[in-house]
């Protein structure tokens, strides 16, 4: 059966890899099966924020029924690039096909709810993906989620919406995909610990004094993963792992006391689950996002795809160490934020998004990212059991607060 996919954020690092994964799956299926099964993974919708050039290129190749540009300023440029004389999409093989071009952030919700879509792959960065992710859950879709921020901001609401609407949520984040796979080895009530691994980022070995003067260029040079700028900076501050602790808490319904972080610089073991009998199940593969993306699409099946097998002889040695909680305070903060709950995680996330933006613009130093987040959290009056409006207000407030504080 064909699986119809909408990729939210198709021009980003995850989005581009998702398209490569889909190509790989379709060609391995085409090689194995009879023609009617050929297009088992069909791209029905693609969205991007501003990269019209790449979005138009992707639309020509994949011929989706819908494309959406969330920044409305780029609507006309996108239409121009897609238009032919009869206002139809010009595709690479010169067939013409109707394509609906949408613009604005609200159209993400429309895409997430489309009856033509079975799987919504959310690869948007940050809280901008929140409403669409919730809409996909409400519409009972399979949600293949790379976009961890919505789980941090509104984890309880999102998981409740998934359950109430018979939707499915499948993690793409490599650690969470690893945990999801390892959990198949036992009952979730028998889990004693979830151990999230981290490469430690580019600044693992620096002293607190050395961290004071790191540059943007150094922070963007991740030793293992090639990712979008925001998550790359989050990996350098370890905020990424902090967000992942909260993400795991909601995805797997495990208290944060049972979630630990382990530094594993080779990034071969993507995470581990320890059961009450002491058995520890790890998931291993090359550090390549294509595998967790593919598993979220093919689950419960496993299919041959583009990911290369692991060669442990080549890797040689796996090492582990404790994270440096003094230098990377985000980790400790994650546990108290999860405990406080209410609007605190939304503020934690939004303050970080805004501070990272300032750092990327060269307006603050690296160490100021966490200082601004902490200052913002100190000033916040937490609202318990917030509704969506209160969460969005908290997100807006935190961004303003960070801008004012700077
Ligand atoms: P990226 O910056 O490379 O791409 C982001 C995508 O989101 C782009 O397609 C962009 O057009 C879109 N986008 C940006 N701002 C938007 C807005 N305001 N509204 C709508 N769309 C917008 O990011 P990425 O590295 O692909 O990461 C995407 C998500 O996946 C993040 O939440 C990240 O934490 C998560 N993730 C990424 C990786 C990775 O390897 N890149 C690994 C694990 C998890
Ligand atoms: Mg991760």
Mean pLDDT by 10 residues, the chain (406 residues): 96 98 92 66 97 97 97 96 62 62 97 98 97 98 98 97 98 98 96 98 97 97 94 98 98 98 98 98 98 98 95 97 97 98 98 98 98 98 97 98 94
Is the separation of the CB atoms in 297 and 5 below 8 Å? yes
Q: Rounded to the nearest whole angstrom, what is the distance from the C-alpha of residue 34 to the centroid of ligand 1?
A: 36
Whole-angstrom distance, CA of residue 339 vs CA of residue 245: 12
Q: Which pLDDT belongs to residue 98? A: 81
Taken in order 225, 109, 245, 208, the sign of the CA dihedral is positive
Tokens of 276: 């009450």
Place of tokens 């991007």: 48
Does the beta carbon of 349 lie inside 6 Å of ligand 1? no
Angle formed at CA 11 by CA 268 and CA 221, multiple of 5 degrees: 45
With a 6 Å cutoff on the Cβ, whether 46 touches ligand 1 is: no
- The rounded distance, in Å, linking the Cα atoms of 261 and 263 is 7
Q: Write down the pLDDT at residue 30.
A: 84
pLDDT on residue 94: 44
Cα of 123 vs centre of ligand 1, distance in Å, is 5
Nearest by Cα to 224 from 160, 270, 275: 270
Report whether residue 147 contacts ligand 1, using a CB cutoff of 6 Å.
Answer: yes
Contacts of 84 (CB under 8 A, 6+ apart): 90, 96
Residue nearest (by alpha carbon) to ligand 1 atom 18: 128
CA–CA dist 177, 275 (Å, integer): 17
Best residue among 11, 12, 56 to mutate for probing ligand 1, ranked by most atoms within 8 Å of CB: 12
The answer to whether the beta carbons of residues 43 and 22 sit under 8 Å apart is yes
Atom of ligand 1 nearest to the CA of 147: 32
Paired sense of beta strands 269-275 and 280-284, if any: antiparallel
Give the separation between CA 260 and CA 394, rounded to whole angstroms.
28
């Amino acid at each position: 059966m064909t699986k119809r996919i909408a990729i939210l954020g198709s021009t980003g690092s995850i989005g581009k890899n998702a398209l490569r994964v889909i190509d790989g799956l379709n060609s391995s299926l085409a090689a194995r099966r009879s023609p009617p099964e050929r297009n088992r993974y069909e791209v029905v919708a693609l969205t991007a924020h501003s990269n019209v050039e790449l979005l138009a290129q992707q639309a020509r190749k994949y011929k989706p029924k819908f494309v959406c540009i969330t920044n409305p300023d780029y609507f006309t440029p996108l239409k121009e690039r897609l238009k032919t004389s009869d206002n139809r999409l010009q595709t690479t093989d010169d067939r013409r096909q109707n394509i609906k071009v949408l613009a604005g952030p609200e159209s993400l919700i429309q895409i997430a709810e489309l009856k033509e879509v079975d799987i919504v792959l959310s690869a948007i960065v940050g809280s901008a993906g929140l409403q669409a992710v919730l809409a996909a859950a409400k519409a009972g879709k399979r949600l293949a989620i790379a976009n961890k921020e919505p789980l941090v901001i509104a984890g309880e609401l999102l998981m409740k919406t998934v359950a109430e609407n018979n939707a499915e949520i499948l993690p793409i984040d490599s650690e969470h995909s690893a945990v999801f796979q390892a959990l198949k080895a036992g009952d979730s009530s028998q889990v004693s610990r979830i151990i999230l691994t981290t490469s430690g980022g580019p600044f693992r070995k620096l002293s607190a004094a050395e961290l004071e003067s790191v540059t943007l260029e150094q922070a963007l040079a991740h030793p293992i993963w090639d990712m979008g700028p925001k998550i790359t900076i989050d990996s350098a501050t370890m905020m990424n792992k902090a967000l992942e602790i909260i993400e795991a808490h909601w995805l797997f319904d495990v208290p944060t006391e049972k979630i630990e972080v382990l530094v594993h610089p080779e990034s071969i073991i993507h995470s581990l689950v320890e059961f009450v009998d002491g058995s520890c199940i790890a998931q291993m593969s090359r550090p390549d996002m294509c595998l967790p993306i593919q598993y979220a699409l093919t689950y419960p099946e496993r299919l041959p795809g583009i990911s290369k097998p692991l060669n442990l002889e080549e890797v040689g040695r796996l090492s582990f160490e404790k994270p440096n909680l003094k230098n990377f305070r985000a980790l400790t903060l994650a546990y108290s934020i999860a405990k406080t709950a209410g609007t605190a995680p939304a503020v934690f996330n939004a303050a970080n998004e805004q501070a990272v933006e300032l750092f990327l613009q060269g307006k603050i130093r690296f160490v100021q990212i966490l200082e601004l987040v902490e200052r913002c959290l100190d000033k916040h009056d937490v609202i318990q059991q917030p509704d969506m409006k209160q969460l969005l207000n908290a997100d807006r407030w935190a961004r303003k607060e960070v801008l004012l504080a700077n």
